[in-house]
Amino acid sequence: MKAAEFQEGKTILVDKPLNWTSFDVVNKLRWILKQKLGVKKIKVGHAGTLDPLATGLLVLCTGKHTKQINDLMVGDKTYTGKILLGKTTPSYDLESEYNETFPTEHITQALLEEVRLSFIGEQDQVPPIFSAKQVNGKRAYELARAGEEVVLKADQINITAFSIDSCNMPEIYFEITCSKGTYIRSIAHDFGVKLNSGGTLIELRRTRSGEQSIGESKTIEQWIEIIQATEL
């Protein structure tokens, strides 16, 4: 592999670490590529954002491959993670503090299975107010953090597979395959509501995006080593 191939166009599969934004990853690898190639500019973009508190597969494109980003974003995504039942946060995850506590003693295996099955298929989903959705020209999370009321429209999503493991109640482990634009935070919140309790997403990892798999990915450090070791 030669460094110039990145400039021409490559697809890079990154295992995004915790607490990095998707743009942090893009900016880091763009900077490394510019240093290696001795250029002032190189196109680098990602095909589908991951929240800072999520880890896993982030698909990056360089050079002419950035033209493929929209096509790469279309495919279904698979995630694994954990939901904590009985508590909620305004952001539906650990970005914000717990604000309400609910009972969980009534939650049986039969009820969990009934609720799980109710999520399979096409449905409308209201995104979290702590999201990047546009509201009157501003990001929803900017308004939410400022204490302003945020009302978001529901989007249609499709969940094709959803499995749960409740052996560590009130934490439940899940794996879910869903369409582009699905907010797993909203799944966690809505799951809690349907149980007449609460739900907070406490862990999330993307393992697949379209045809791309986490098993084919490399860490940021590994990609830096690869780029720096390539010939010009």
Catalytic residues: 51
Sign of CA dihedral 110, 113, 119, 125: positive
What dihedral do alpha carbons 76, 78, 139, 186 form, nearest 10°? Answer: 110
Helix runs in the chain, H state only: 4-8, 22-37, 69-73, 109-118, 140-145, 184-194, 220-229
**How many Cα neighbours within 13 Å face the side chain of 163?**
6
CA atoms within 13 A on the CB side of 66: 13
Coil, helix or strand for 58? Answer: strand
Q: Give the single-character DSSP code of 214.
A: G
Determine the 3-state secondary structure of 140 from DSSP.
Answer: helix
**What are the start-end ranges of the H helices in 58-203?**
69-73, 109-118, 140-145, 184-194
